[in-house]
């Protein structure tokens, strides 16, 4: 019942449907419509169907960005339920705090994955978005989503108010998206900066996995996915330590 | 005895929120926990419900030792929070269903209890509406209803009428009496002494983390009331009337201002009738009333402070 409760709240909240489902799909359609309207360059592409690659690439950028934003669903409900006055009522019931947290995180993760599937699905159906390997794409999206959810839990634990967590998340998402070069291409941050932000951050790793698969660099695909898994392990340990010191 | 708190100490840093608190809750009663803001009422009920740990002392509920997350005890208790803590994104029925399910109700049992509570709180015709479309009083009623779905043996209500209109308050107070009449023991915290006076048959007055007095309203008032004050408007005030009243056994003083007489007499002397008889014999009376001591007077006598700051609350 607790799990069903959170799923229902997350999947029926108009703001979630608007911001995390309708908005990314709208942005995808807008971006790809503009991209498709631009005349192709004179130099021939190394790819057989460059428009399909572009559609896959843009779909992945939007998926990663909105999987990041999806972290807000984790703390959005838990700030009210576990950190606010409602906690006394919920904890007066014969349930554990862990059950509420687990149910919310599960609902939030599934919602984020549904958002990703919808974005890629629209990309494939409307713009023939390139799908390199279903398992690589699904695995990358899953790993990145789990990382984003852990980030949401971390913000819930360390931020005193929902507004603070929201500001921190927005700052992280926008700065990493811009520094990774996914928003404005050709950013040069120096050798170290380029490596950190364009190769080593979780969103850079997720994007790079997609790009490396297109160029058939399977070693880097594997390494990137392992690195993403490493980020998850580190983040999970940090969350566990903080949760132990500052329980819900 | 349905619950006891013995010598309970709870500290928050240097602040002693509960200072060797002793409290007994008897089966079937409405216990009023009365005290000013900061007296320790909320800490006391959070300890009682097992929501916070205590530093020392013993708490027993339903004959079992209370501890953090004691599910057996929690299953039989209901908590009405001071703030409205229902879900605004769920309808009234969905709220009741959810809270009922947290206590293990399901299927037809859950449905029938939800219907029962909707009827009890008077929201049957608004069951499918969300609380944000409700008035403050209706939201308060739903807030109470969410603690009743699982039919608790012990219901704890933490200032459930804060910030609502008098009509809704009366509705809630009547509901509390009905809940108790149906066999649920109620602990009712408030800093509105009128509410506690109106519904509680056992009152504990708290201050600085301790119970400073407890008993029935009559017992508490009896402890401080050594004199009756009678106010009378005479139709024909005269020196003869004043002297006749002064001559009544037990009358301690008579003050006359115009037609207004203030007479102080020993407590329970039964002088009201005698004074009326004397006054009627001296030209009659326009009005007569005996002042009764209140819990406010009890609190003032015990602590030297008022229960509420001037202008606070209703």
Within an 8 Å CB–CB cutoff, is residue A5 touching chain B? Answer: yes
pLDDT for position A113: 94
User: CB–CB of A151/A168 below 8 Å?
Assistant: no
Examine the pLDDT at A193 and tell me if it is beyond 80: no
Closest CA to B275 of B249, B239, B236: B249
Lowest mean pLDDT among A46-50, B93-97, B280-284: A46-50
Contacts of B147 in chain A (CB under 8 A): 89
Say if CB A91 and CB B51 are below 8 A apart.
yes
DSSP 3-state of A135: helix
What's phi and psi for B134, nearest 5 deg? -90, 160
Tokens standing for residue B83: 């703030």
- Is the Cβ of A15 closer than 8 Å to some Cβ of chain B? no
Largest CA distance in chain B: 79
User: What average pLDDT does this structure show over A56-70?
Assistant: 89
**Pairing between strand B3-12 and B154-158?**
unpaired
Residues B133 and B91: beta-carbon distance below 8 Å? no
Distance CA B305, CA B298 (A): 10
Residue with tokens 């070069």: A181
Q: How confident is the model at residue A47 (pLDDT cuts 50, 70, 90)?
A: low
d(C-alpha A167, C-alpha B19), whole Å: 42
**Per-residue pLDDT at B152:** 95
- Residue A11: the pLDDT is 92
Task: Indicate yes or no: CB of A93 within 8 angstroms of CB of B103.
Answer: yes
**Cβ–Cβ contact A1 with B under 8 A:** yes
Going by the DSSP 8-state scheme, the letter that residue A44 receives in this structure is P
* pLDDT for residue A182: 66
pLDDT at position B55, please?
94
Does B102 contact A1 at a Cβ distance shorter than 8 Å?
Answer: yes
Q: Which of B69, B81, B106 sits opposite A89 (nearest CB)?
A: B81
pLDDT given for residue B314 in this prediction: 35
pLDDT value at residue B313: 39
The pLDDT assigned to A248 comes to 58
Residues of chain A numbered 81-100 and touching chain B (CB < 8 Å): 85-86, 88-96
- A46 pLDDT tier (thresholds 50, 70, 90): low
* DSSP 8-state symbol, A117: H
Q: Name the pLDDT band for B101 (thresholds 50, 70, 90).
A: very high
Question: What's the helix, strand, coil split of chain A in %, to 5?
Answer: 80, 0, 20
Helix (H) or strand (E) holding B119: helix B107-120
Q: What is the CA radius of gyration of chain A?
A: 19
Say if CB B197 and CB B218 are below 8 A apart: no
| CA–CA–CA angle B259, B262, B266 (5° rounding) | 150
- Residue B254 near residue B263, CB atoms below 8 Å: yes
CB within 8 Å: B104 and A94:
yes
Cα–chain-centroid distance for residue B189? 6
Cα distance between residue B93 and residue B128, in whole Å? 6
Q: What is the mean pLDDT of chain B?
A: 88
pLDDT in the model for residue A88:
92
Q: Are B145 and B120 in contact (CB under 8 A)?
A: yes
Nearest Cα to Cα of residue B57 among B29, B13, B17: B17
How confident is the model at residue B312, as a pLDDT?
Answer: 42
| Token code pair at residue A161 | 């108010």
Structure-token pair, residue B139? 């939201």
The complex's ipTM works out to: 0.79
Do B29 and B202 contact (CB within 8 A), yes or no? yes
Residue contacts between A and B (CB atoms, under 8 Å): 51
Mean pLDDT, chain A, whole residue set: 86
**Using one digit for the tens of pLDDT, what is the confidence trace for B15-35?**
999 999 999 999 999 999 988
Q: What is the average per-residue pLDDT within B99-106? A: 94
CA distance B146 to B113: 11
Confidence at residue B311, expressed as pLDDT on a 0 to 100 scale: 43
pLDDT digits (tens, 9 = 90+) for A152-161: 999 999 998 8
CB atoms within 10 A of CB B306: 12
Mean per-residue pLDDT for A129-143? 86
Rounded mean pLDDT, A55-66: 89
- Cβ-proximal residues to A99 (8 Å cutoff; 6+ apart), any chain: A2
Q: For residue B46, what are its two tokens?
A: 């959070």
Q: Tell whether the model's pLDDT for residue B164 goes beyond 90.
A: no
Candidate from A33-37, B51-55, B147-151, B269-273 with smallest mean pLDDT: B269-273
Reference B183, options B228, B139, B152, B210; nearest CA is B152
pTM of the prediction? Answer: 0.79
DSSP string, B78-113: EEE-SS--S-TTS-HHHHHHHHHHHTT--HHHHHHH
């Amino acid at each position: 019942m607790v799990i069903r409760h959170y799923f229902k709240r997350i999947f029926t909240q108009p703001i979630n449907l608007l911001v995390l489902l309708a908005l990314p799909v709208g942005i995808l359609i807008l971006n790809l419509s503009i991209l498709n309207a631009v005349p192709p360059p004179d130099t021939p592409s190394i790819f057989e169907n460059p428009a399909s690659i572009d559609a896959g690439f843009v779909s992945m950028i939007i998926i990663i960005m909105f999987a990041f934003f999806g972290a807000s669903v984790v703390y959005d409900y838990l700030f009210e339920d576990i950190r606010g006055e409602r906690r006394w009522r919920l904890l007066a019931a014969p349930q554990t705090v862990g059950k509420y947290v687990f149910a919310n995180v599960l609902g939030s993760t599934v919602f984020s994955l549904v958002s990703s599937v919808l974005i890629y699905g629209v990309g494939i159906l409307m713009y023939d978005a390139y799908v390199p390997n279903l398992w690589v794409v699904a695995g990358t999206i899953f790993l990145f989503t789990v990382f984003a959810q852990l980030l949401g839990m971390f913000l819930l634990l360390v931020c005193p108010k929902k507004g603070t967590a929201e500001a921190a998340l927005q700052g992280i998402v926008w700065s990493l998206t811009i520094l990774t070069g996914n928003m404005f291409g050709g950013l040069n941050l120096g050798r170290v900066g380029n490596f950190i932000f364009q190769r080593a951050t979780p969103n850079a790793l997720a994007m790079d996995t997609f790009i490396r698969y297109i160029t058939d660099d399977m070693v880097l695909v594997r390494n990137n996915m392992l690195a993403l898994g490493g980020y998850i392990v580190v983040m999970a340990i940090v969350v566990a330590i903080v949760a132990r010191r500052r329980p819900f | 005895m349905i619950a006891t708190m013995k010598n309970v100490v709870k500290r928050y840093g240097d602040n002693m929120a509960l200072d060797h608190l002793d409290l007994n809750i008897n089966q079937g009663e409405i216990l009023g926990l009365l005290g000013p803001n900061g007296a320790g009422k909320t800490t006391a009920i959070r300890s009682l419900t097992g929501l916070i740990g205590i530093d020392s002392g013993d708490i027993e509920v339903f004959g079992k030792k209370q501890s953090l997350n004691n599910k057996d005890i929690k299953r039989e208790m209901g908590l009405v929070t001071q703030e409205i803590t229902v879900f605004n994104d769920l309808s009234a029925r969905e709220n009741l269903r959810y809270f009922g399910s947290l206590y293990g109700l399901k299927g037809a049992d859950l449905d029938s209890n939800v219907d029962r509570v909707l009827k009890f709180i008077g929201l049957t015709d608004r069951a499918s509406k969300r609380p944000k479309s409700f008035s403050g009083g209706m939201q308060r009623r739903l807030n109470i209803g969410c603690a009743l779905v699982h039919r608790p043996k012990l219901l704890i209500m933490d200032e459930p009428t804060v910030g609502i209109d008098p009509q809704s308050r009366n509705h809630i107070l009547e509901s509390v009496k009905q809940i108790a009449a149906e066999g649920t023991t109620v602990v009712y915290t408030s800093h509105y002494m009128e509410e506690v006076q109106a519904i509680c048959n056992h009152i504990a007055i708290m201050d600085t983390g301790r119970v400073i007095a407890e008993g029935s309203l009559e017992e508490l008032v009896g402890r401080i009331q050594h004199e009756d004050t009678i106010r009378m408007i005479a139709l024909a005030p005269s020196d003869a009337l004043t002297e006749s009243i002064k001559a009544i056994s037990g009358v301690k003083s008579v003050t006359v201002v115009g037609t207004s007489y203030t007479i102080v007499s020993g407590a329970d002397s039964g002088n009201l009738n005698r004074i009326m008889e004397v006054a009627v014999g001296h030209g009659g009376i326009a009005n007569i009333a005996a002042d009764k001591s209140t819990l406010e007077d009890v609190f003032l006598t015990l602590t030297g402070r008022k229960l509420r700051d001037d202008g606070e609350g209703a």
